[in-house]
Amino acid sequence: MKITIAASIALLGGLSQAYTLTACKGDSCKEDCKTFTGPDVTGPSGTVGECIDIGFFAQSYFFIQDNSDYNWQEALGGWPSNETCVASGKGLHSAPIIDYSTNEDFAQCSNLLTQNHPDMGFTQFLVGQCVLILLFIGIDEEMGSERFPVHDNGIFRNLPTFDPSITGLTAIITGANGISGFHLLRALLASPERWSKIYALSRRPPPAEMMSLLPESQRSRVQHVAVDFLDDPTNIAQTLTSAGISAEYIFFYSYLQPAPAPGAAVWSNAEELVKVNVTLLENFMKAITISNISPKRFLLQTGAKNYGVQIGRIRAPAVESDPVPAHLEPNFYYPQEKVLFEYCKANNTSWNVIRPAWVLGAVPNAQMNALLPVAIYAAVQAHKGEPIYFPSDWETWQYEGHHSTALLTGYLSEWAVLEEKAKNQAFNAQDTGPMTWDRLYEELVRWFSVEKGIVPPEEDSTKFEELVGKAGADTPMGYGPPAIHRTTFKLADWASCPENKAAWADMQRQSGGQLTSNPFDDVEANFAFGDQAFRKIPSLNMNKARRLGWNGFVDTMEALFEIYSEMGDLGMLPRLKVKEPKPLV
């Protein structure tokens, strides 16, 4: 890849010469440099024909090419004149073509350049009596956020910095009241210049307490539209049109979880899941077509079930290119992706698929947050003056589990849709900071003031119940023994005990109106995912995103502390007893 950068070398005495500064990457660039000859150039950059690294492009090398016959007007598509200081170009650091013959001309151009591009800090190189000013005008579109330093936002570290010229974007977020949708909303709202308008689509208006987590200045950029994607696409389109929706980017998080048969596993009703969730996506795509909404990028979030973690053993870690076990049982992710690909091909739209696992985030309807029931358990045990017991074995106690903090996944999703090189790609999404139950339980004791502490895993094997998975060819891995999950009790059974329901009611009375939610009203819905969280699931490999420039990271322990704190604000948990967590450092 080469980037041509315009430059002008002007003799202060009056004669003007034009040169180009060319950038390229890779070892071959060094060899290419040696083929060019020209007048010596003095100063910090070296000489013509030398490879020069000025530090602007990471791992880039530059060489100066004699180009005194360069046709500026042709190169710039009819540039009216190269005798004035004017900004041009298509990249972030677009800058003027400067052609001057006097000190006054140079001063005028320099002032204008600095005024129009205060962030650029253009560089001057002395060439005898000449001044060389580097003008960045032809930056390759493939060069994305890696051109800029990463940044932190609170506990979220090494986040990408995007081209400041990317402004005024619009987006649709479906399922905006869910964990992933709401936290993607928060990620986009963190950049007010970049995202000017966000349409939040969901069946019901966002709860006031959830929106209170957003600063007032951010709420004004969100327009909520109530719409049911199980409705007729024509009616959905009418709703979108009436709301005046027009968006360049679409993030699809809509999801319905039909209740399984009593006593059945959470995802046992696979065919129902396929029917309802594929319909959601198909109806929405038909509706935006009717409404003439033409996105540049369409992002669909699926998850770790893509790899068959709910069926049995999978290869570890899970890699995006792994074959899917579509032959083993229905999975709505696969037909959803097919629908996505067909729509994007027909409409010249690029796509992304994001695959998180064990999504963590604070929203009022957080049944999918598998670690909320664990916090409820710890809080009630503390209130009763009892210890917290671990419901599985020692192997699980020390297993390094990975989670997907919804806000970090939101930042990853923004990066994916804004990076040209990431288009038409699927990415795993995890925090990349593993956490064991051993360490989490230690913090739960502090956060909820569990005075009686922890009872570690049971050692008597006769006291365990075993859930034996499928084996051999019936697993995504295709061979091997069944995975075995061992438990001494289930959170759902614990939550069904009258004494624990009564303890929560007592906590509500003592909270003075702070603790408003009652998860014990629907034990099956609110605690089933908590029991799933104790299963040992392999990590999702993040190499693919990293290879393309993603470096985002959050310590899951710190993230969970913030999430539980926000759940306290939402009335879902009692206030935590400490002011900060102990990060895993």
Residue 209 lies in a domain: yes
Residue 559 lies in a domain: no
Asked whether residue 143 carries a pLDDT value surpassing 90, the answer given is: no
- Structurally, the chain folds into a number of domains equal to 3
Domain identity same for 169 and 129: no
Asked whether residue 24 carries a pLDDT value surpassing 50, the answer given is: no
Residue 109 lies in a domain: yes
- pLDDT band at 46; cut points 50, 70, 90: very low
Q: Identify the DSSP state of 97.
A: B
Domain identity same for 257 and 372: no
Q: What is the pLDDT of residue 1?
A: 36
Mapped onto helix, strand or coil, the DSSP state of residue 350 is: strand
Q: Identify the DSSP state of 540.
A: B
Which residues have C-beta within 8 Å of that of residue 180, sequence separation ≥ 6? 253, 301, 356, 359, 361, 406, 409, 410
Q: What is the pLDDT of residue 232?
A: 98
Task: Please report which helix (H) or strand (E) contains residue 110, including its range.
Answer: helix 103-116
- pLDDT band at 366; cut points 50, 70, 90: confident
Residue 143 lies in a domain: no
pTM as predicted: 0.78
96 or 364: which carries more pLDDT confidence?
364
Q: What is the pLDDT of residue 52?
A: 36
| Least confident window among 65-74, 139-148, 149-158, 299-308 | 65-74
Domain identity same for 339 and 387: no
Please say whether the dihedral angle defined by the alpha carbons of residues 550, 555, 560 and 566, taken in this order, is positive or negative: negative
351 within 8 A of 340, measured Cβ to Cβ:
yes
pLDDT tens by residue, 30-41: 444 333 333 333
Domain identity same for 423 and 441: no
Q: Where in the sequence is the domain holding 252, given as residue range(s)? A: 158-358+404-434+539-554
The partner residues of 368 in beta bridges, in order of sequence, read: none
CATH code: domain of residue 163: 3.40.50.720
Q: How far, in Å, CA of 251 to CA of 173, rounded?
A: 5
Domain identity same for 473 and 410: no
Q: What is the pLDDT of residue 319?
A: 98
Domain identity same for 165 and 282: yes
Q: What is the pLDDT of residue 570?
A: 97
Domain identity same for 192 and 260: yes
Span 495-513, average pLDDT = 98
Selection from 292, 449, 459, 484 nearest residue 375 by Cα: 449
Domain identity same for 385 and 413: no
| Least confident window among 48-52, 387-391, 408-412 | 48-52
Q: What is the pLDDT of residue 148?
A: 94
Backbone angles phi, psi at 259, to 5 degrees: -65, 130
Q: What is the pLDDT of residue 153?
A: 97
- pLDDT band at 9; cut points 50, 70, 90: very low
Domain identity same for 126 and 252: no
Domain identity same for 190 and 233: yes
99 or 354: which carries more pLDDT confidence?
354
Span 122-143, average pLDDT = 34
Span 196-212, average pLDDT = 96
Max mean pLDDT among 40-54, 360-374, 523-537, 571-585 falls in: 571-585
Q: How far, in Å, CA of 2 to CA of 61, rounded?
A: 10
Domain identity same for 25 and 171: no
Asked whether residue 109 carries a pLDDT value surpassing 60, the answer given is: no
Q: What is the pLDDT of residue 268?
A: 74
Asked whether residue 255 carries a pLDDT value surpassing 80, the answer given is: yes
Q: How far, in Å, CA of 387 to CA of 376, rounded?
A: 13
Residue 147 lies in a domain: no
Q: How far, in Å, CA of 392 to CA of 127, rounded?
A: 73
Asked whether residue 348 carries a pLDDT value surpassing 80, the answer given is: yes
Mapped onto helix, strand or coil, the DSSP state of residue 91 is: coil
Asked whether residue 59 carries a pLDDT value surpassing 50, the answer given is: no
Asked whether residue 157 carries a pLDDT value surpassing 50, the answer given is: yes
Q: What is the pLDDT of residue 221?
A: 97
Asked whether residue 543 carries a pLDDT value surpassing 70, the answer given is: yes
pLDDT tens by residue, 72-92: 334 434 333 333 322 222 222
Q: What is the pLDDT of residue 359?
A: 96
Asked whether residue 14 carries a pLDDT value surpassing 60, the answer given is: no
Asked whether residue 50 carries a pLDDT value surpassing 50, the answer given is: no
Q: What is the pLDDT of residue 71?
A: 43
78 or 114: which carries more pLDDT confidence?
114
Residue 7 lies in a domain: yes
Asked whether residue 70 carries a pLDDT value surpassing 50, the answer given is: no
Q: What is the pLDDT of residue 267?
A: 66
Task: Please report which helix (H) or strand (E) contains residue 494, including its range.
Answer: helix 491-495
Residue 309 lies in a domain: yes
Task: State the CB neighbour count (10 A cutoff) for residue 80.
Answer: 9
Q: How far, in Å, CA of 88 to CA of 94, rounded?
A: 6
Q: What is the pLDDT of residue 423?
A: 97
Residue 268 lies in a domain: yes
Domain identity same for 34 and 101: yes
Asked whether residue 301 carries a pLDDT value surpassing 90, the answer given is: yes
- pLDDT band at 576; cut points 50, 70, 90: very high
578 within 8 A of 568, measured Cβ to Cβ:
no
332 within 8 A of 528, measured Cβ to Cβ:
no
Mean pLDDT of the chain: 81
Which residues have C-beta within 8 Å of that of residue 560, sequence separation ≥ 6? 360, 371, 403, 405, 440, 581
| Least confident window among 101-105, 214-218, 454-458, 477-481 | 101-105
pLDDT tens by residue, 544-563: 999 999 999 999 999 999 99
Asked whether residue 55 carries a pLDDT value surpassing 80, the answer given is: no
